[in-house]
Amino acid sequence: MTDSDQQPWGRVDETGTVFVRTSDGERAVGQYPDGSAEEALAYFERKYADLAGQVGLLEQRVRRGAPAADVAKAVATLRSSVSTANAVGDLESLATRLEALSGTTKELTEQQQAESKAAVAEAIAERTAIVEAAEALAAGDPAKTQWKQATAELDELFARWQHHQQDGPRLPKNEANELWKRFRAARSTIETHRKAFFAELDAAHRDVRSRKQALIERAEALAPRGADAVGDYRHLLDEWKLAGRAGKKLDDALWAKFKAAGDVLFSAKAEIDAQEDESYRANLDEKLALLTEAEPLLTAKDPKQARAELNKIQRKWDEIGKVPRDQVRVVEDRLRKIENHVKSLEEERWQREDPEKKARSEGMLGQLHDAIDKLEAELAAAEASGDAKAAASAREALDARRAWLKALGG
């Protein structure tokens, strides 16, 4: 090799020693005895490129907001590496870039401290909101609380607390401890209320279960009496409705047993009813025939005659007796329609013949006749005297009285 100025930042002498040029002069950085001067320089230039790459990566990290403490540590390490680097290149520019990063680190530290403070304040507010939501649940009336919903809400709040604690910023110890103390107290209160509520509910359910079991036993004891005990069973059913709830599953099972005891009685009654209905078939035919005989009264006009005829129909109706249960309403509705028509005829007659009303009407008619006679005389006098105004007033009053008279049928 020969001593030469192969590169602005370095050279290789005849012994193969490689030097780097700086503003303070040259500094030997190593030897590359088995290659040419170009190869020797290229080798140490690659070392410089590695350093420059590390500085560039650190600059990118700073622009992306890397933690200031990590940046400061990396700057110190690279600054030491650059100052003693066995490399060929613009080492002073790397030192200048690292110096600039030192100033940026200070600004980054201040910025990140402010951001950290804001993040902590926000985290305290968020965790406080979780605590207040739990305390609101704890303050609710246990008797009115929907416990399934309240338990789900509390579980969701606790999950949020854990997620916030794991993934959120670290809170100051005093604030963190105080918030956890409040949250834990709210959870404890809710759990205490929940246990007390369900303990009381269980006691109530046991009492209802005992009462309903006793009602079942009384209902089952009615079985030997069959249909005759249906009324007593209905009284037991009234007691059952007032007994309260014993829990859905248990209530369903108890009701099934109570209903089965009633079904025995109703089944016996249904058999008797079926036999009775069959014996009433002939009565049904008689009542249907009687209705056919009576329905012409629907077109009757004379209330006295219609009432006399209806009374005979009603007597025969009662004498016939019962009809099958599923036909009672059918025949009764048809008879009721006839009875209502006759009643309406009688009411119309009463309206016409009401003595008090008739007397009032006759008294009013007399008064109107007197008034009309007087007005007719006043009209004649006004016309005779030529008093047009008096004549018009008398005529108007006379027309009104005549209209009233006509309306009253006078």
Euclidean distance between CA atoms 192 and 171, whole angstroms:
29
Residue ending a domain, among 243, 261, 276, is 276
Euclidean distance between CA atoms 173 and 85, whole angstroms:
46
Same domain, 93 and 16: yes
The pair of three-digit structure tokens given for residue 336, joined into one six-digit string: 């009721």
pLDDT at 1: 45
> CB of 25 within 8 A of CB of 1?
no
Higher pLDDT, 53 or 389: 53
**pTM for the full model?**
0.36
Query: What is the percent of the chain where pLDDT is above 90?
Result: 17
Same domain, 332 and 264: no
Q: Which own/partner contact pairs does 95-100 have at CB distance under 8 Å and 24+ positions apart?
A: 97/55, 97/59, 98/55
CA-to-CA separations, 339 to 260, 358, 368, in angstroms, rounded: 43, 27, 40
Higher pLDDT, 126 or 110: 126
Amino acid at 89: G
Same domain, 205 and 227: yes
Mean pLDDT along residues 208-216: 88
Residue ending a domain, among 276, 299, 334, is 276
Same domain, 110 and 126: no
Q: What is the pLDDT of residues 352-370, one digit of tens each?
A: 765 555 545 556 677 778 8
pLDDT at 51: 93
pLDDT at 260: 92
Please say if the pLDDT value at position 2 is more than 50. no
Please say if the pLDDT value at position 87 is more than 60. yes
pLDDT at 114: 63
Same domain, 228 and 145: no
Same domain, 14 and 86: yes
> CB of 369 within 8 A of CB of 361?
no
Euclidean distance between CA atoms 86 and 28, whole angstroms:
8
Residue 4 lies in a domain: no
Higher pLDDT, 43 or 166: 43
Higher pLDDT, 363 or 38: 38
Same domain, 392 and 348: no
Same domain, 173 and 85: no
Residue 70 lies in a domain: yes
Residue 5 lies in a domain: no
> CB of 303 within 8 A of CB of 346?
yes
What is the Cβ-side half-sphere exposure of residue 181, based on CA atoms within 13 angstroms?
6
- Residue by residue, DSSP assigns 229-291 as GHHHHHHHHHHHHHS----HHHHHHHHHHHHHHHHHHHHHHHHHHHHHHHHTHHHHHHHHHHH
Residue 176 domain boundaries: 118-200
Binned at pLDDT 50, 70 and 90, residue 3 comes out as very low
Mean pLDDT across the chain, nearest whole number? 84
Structurally, the chain folds into a number of domains equal to 5
pLDDT at 110: 63
Mean pLDDT along residues 13-42: 88
Same domain, 348 and 316: yes
Backbone angles phi and psi of 17, in degrees to 5: -80, 135
Please say if the pLDDT value at position 307 is more than 50. yes
Same domain, 226 and 297: no
Query: What is the percent of the chain where pLDDT is above 70?
Result: 91
Residue 267 lies in a domain: yes
Higher pLDDT, 352 or 304: 304
Residue 74 lies in a domain: yes
Q: Which of 18-32, 93-107, 135-149 has the highest mean pLDDT?
A: 18-32
Least confident of 105-119, 177-191, 209-223, 374-388: 105-119
Backbone angles phi and psi of 366, in degrees to 5: -60, -45
Mean pLDDT along residues 51-67: 87
Residue 402 lies in a domain: yes
Please say if the pLDDT value at position 229 is more than 80. yes
Residue ending a domain, among 96, 114, 132, is 114
Please say if the pLDDT value at position 23 is more than 60. yes
Same domain, 128 and 191: yes
pLDDT at 116: 63
Residue 338 lies in a domain: yes
Same domain, 38 and 132: no
Euclidean distance between CA atoms 318 and 257, whole angstroms:
42
- Please name every residue paired with 31 in a beta bridge, in sequence order, or none if there are none: 17
pLDDT at 61: 86
pLDDT at 90: 92
What is the Cβ-side half-sphere exposure of residue 266, based on CA atoms within 13 angstroms?
8
Residue 239 lies in a domain: yes
- Candidates 170, 162, 175; CA nearest to 117 is 170
DSSP code at position 296:
G
SS3 337: helix
